[in-house]
Amino acid sequence: MSAVFQVFLSNKAKKQLRDLQPAEIKSRAMDALARLEQEPIPYKEYELRKVEGREETYRIRLSSFRIVYKIKWQEKIISVAKIERRSDNTYD
């Protein structure tokens, strides 16, 4: 099955994914990113919410970590902004 959407990680997100610990969370994050290629809003598989005040921006909750991404529907692109532990600055 070919990908419907292309997933691009920002430089920050690439570094955060590379350094993500523990290994189980890193594996789950990689699975979530792969899933986004097929379904940009995988609400059945993940706890997912739209980020308030941001157009077409969503977050996937993986334990205490969040994957924040934006969907560009016309171009069929998903831009991952960050993958980080939840904090007061996560959605800035």
CATH number of the domain that 76 lies in?
3.30.2310.20
Q: Which residues of the chain have pLDDT under 70?
A: 1-2, 91-92
What gap in Å lies between CA 22 and CA 40, rounded to an integer? 25
Number of domains in the chain: 1
Residue 32's φ and ψ, nearest 5 degrees, are -65, -40
- Domain-located, residue 64: yes
Residue type, 78: I
* Residue pLDDT, tens place only, 41-57: 999 999 999 999 999 99
3-state secondary structure of 25: helix
- Domain-located, residue 87: no
What gap in Å lies between CA 51 and CA 71, rounded to an integer? 12
- Domain-located, residue 91: no
**Is the pTM for the entire model greater than 0.85?**
yes
- Structural domain that includes position 35: 6-82
